[in-house]
Amino acid sequence: MATATYPPPPPYYKLYKDYLQDPKSAPEPPPPIEGTYICFGGNYTTDDVLPSLEEQGVRQLYPKGPNIDFKKELRSLNRELQLHILELADILVERPSQYARRVEEISLIFKNLHHLLNSLRPHQARATLIHILELQIKRRKQAVEDIKRRREEAQKLLKESLETLEDTGAPLM
Amino acid sequence: MDAISQLQEQVNKIATIAFTTIGTLQRDAPPVRISPNYPESESAPPNPNPNPTPNPTDDAADFAMQPKLMSADLVKAAKQFDALVAALPLSEGGEEAQLKRIAELQAENSVVGRELEKQLEAAERELEEVRELFGQAADHCLNLKKPE
């Protein structure tokens, strides 16, 4: 694939010369890509899932398992973070040349924190979906009630007007 | 902003405060006196700047406040993070419970939707009838159609 500053448009346009007369003479659009693809030199995957920490080469500090107590883990990671910052300050006073290990540990904690927060997102998405469905059901029920009420009102009005007509306007009919 | 984004912002804020604190303190720290011989004497300061009032002890006092203020900031940010975590609307466990609820809601939604459609059709039918009757009555009133 040639890389130029202003690349020309792809030459496929010539194939669509007779599209207006015969739509089948031109090639079909390409089917959707599955799996991984390369875009501008980067690899992307079509499977939108949050890669686990081990896949990114980062040690996981909070316990794995089916159901994680997010609040507890977030709070304990926060405490760990504060302790590590304090340790870093201490070590900068005592042995300043050994900061690297502490800084690494602090960044590890931050990566864990962000990964935990990101793994809350699917839960949030489902909760939003539930909320939207509930709202929609409420609105639909409200609409059903409204329509019923209006129909009854209309029936009532028609009956009343019929009675009025019968009372007064019999010779008109 | 939603809860998780707020939490993420708070985490980034804690990180910013942490590295700003350490960076500022490292950069602005006054030199530490190691040997009692240097600098020579404090009574005759060798600096030639002609400002009499801002004496170095004032800066030192200001600078001693910095770690206190910055660490107070850090602890405040951490406490806010804890408060945000406590306020998370994390409903009870399970992806399965949520999925089940979504399926229930979808079923109820389709039922209510069909009911709504039925009511709507009936209302539209009645509207058509009323329109036609009204047309007939109007024609009759305008004597376009002889009453049979």
Residues of chain A with pLDDT below 50 are 173
Q: Write down the pLDDT at residue A145.
A: 94
Q: How far is A36 from chain B (nearest CA, A)?
A: 27
Contacts of B3 in chain A (CB under 8 A): 124
Q: Write down the pLDDT at residue B144.
A: 65
Element (H, E) at A43: strand A42-45
Residues of chain B with pLDDT below 50 are 44, 46, 52-54
Whether B91 sits inside 8 A of A127 (CB atoms) is yes
Burial level of A128, CB count in 10 A (0-12/13-18/19+)?
A: exposed
Q: How far is A106 from chain B (nearest CA, A)?
A: 9
Q: What is the pLDDT of residues B19-43, one digit of tens each?
A: 999 899 888 888 877 888 877 665 5
Q: Write down the pLDDT at residue A129.
A: 92
Whether B95 sits inside 8 A of A122 (CB atoms) is yes
- Report whether A133 contacts A139 (CB < 8 A): no
Would strands A42-45 and A36-39 be described as parallel, antiparallel, or unpaired?
Answer: antiparallel
Contacts of A129 in chain B (CB under 8 A): 102
Question: Using CB atoms, which residue from B78, B109, B123 is nearest to A151?
Answer: B123
Is A125 at the interface with chain B, CB within 8 A?
no
Whether A74 sits inside 8 A of B85 (CB atoms) is yes
Q: Write down the pLDDT at residue A119.
A: 86
- Report whether A33 contacts A27 (CB < 8 A): no
Whether B7 sits inside 8 A of A137 (CB atoms) is no
Q: Write down the pLDDT at residue B89.
A: 84
Alpha carbons B122 and B128: distance in angstroms, whole number: 10
**Can you give the pTM of this predicted structure?**
0.71
Q: Write down the pLDDT at residue A79.
A: 93
Question: Using CB atoms, which residue from A114, A151, A173 is nearest to B122?
Answer: A151
